[in-house]
Amino acid sequence: MPEFNYDELRSKLNAGDPWPQIYMFKFIVPSQNQKIALVESLFADDAEIKLQPSSGGKYTSVTARVVMLDAEQIIDIYKKAAEIEGIISL
């Protein structure tokens, strides 16, 4: 699997609205409490996190809205999330 292009993401993020800004992360993980907890732990306590199980219950969508200070904070979260087995970043 090719490495994700974080430089391209950084450029797109910095071309948008000024910082800080609210950013929405969306991940899909297997519906296992440990995996969901690992995703939730990527964010501070003040993050707005919503969980939505798939219709079959096999996967859970995790949406987090959080204030980010710069593009590097966003990229750091994506890099940490990539270490969680079975995660899909949207």
Taken in order 74, 8, 83, 24, is the CA torsion positive or negative? positive
Q: How confident is the model at residue 66 (pLDDT cuts 50, 70, 90)?
A: very high
**What DSSP letter does each residue of the chain carry, written as one string?**
-PPP-HHHHHHHHHHSSPSSEEEEEEEEEES-HHHHHHHHTTS-TT-EEEEEE-TTSSEEEEEEEEEESSHHHHHHHHHHHTTSTT-EE-
User: Residue 17 has what pLDDT?
Assistant: 87
User: Residue 16 has what pLDDT?
Assistant: 84
pLDDT > 70: percent of the chain: 97
35-54 pLDDT tens trace: 999 999 999 988 999 999 99
Q: What are phi and psi of 40, to 5 degrees?
A: -60, -30
Identify the CA nearest to 86 among candidates 44, 38, 42. 38
**Domains of the chain, each with CATH number or no CATH:** 6-89 (3.30.70.260)
Mean pLDDT of 72-80: 95
8-40 pLDDT tens trace: 999 999 998 899 999 999 999 999 999 999 999
Between CA 39 and CA 70, with CA 78 as vertex, the angle to 5 degrees is 115
User: Residue 3 has what pLDDT?
Assistant: 63
User: What's the predicted TM-score (pTM) here?
Assistant: 0.89
